[in-house]
Structure 1
């Protein structure tokens, strides 16, 4: 039963990743900026290509 709940959580979490990047950002709050991602910065990806890379990784996560 725990395994089913963990699997459900991971599937839901993976499906939410593309939605976070595709959602319009509110004007009064700072949006998530994939150009400042610690993971992509550690992989030596600069800010400009980090946005499409983050989007591609999010969709890849959702498809898996």
Structure 2
């Protein structure tokens, strides 16, 4: 993601808590996934839906 926006509209809070594994050709494993997680304890914006920041946490095949 590296500064890009990911539309998580429609995601449940539980899905956001688990983070996201996004397909990429640019990670450590071409054709694998880059893992992004919300930072623990970071506040989320109040309001309808879910809004938070995701941070890179690693790559997986």
TM-score by length of 1: 0.22
The TM-score, its normalising length taken from structure 2, stands at 0.23
Q: Which has the higher strand share?
A: 2
Q: Which has the higher contact order (CA 8 A, sep 6+)?
A: 1
Give 1 or 2 for the bigger CA radius of gyration. 1
Query: In proportion to residue count, which structure has more helix?
Result: 1
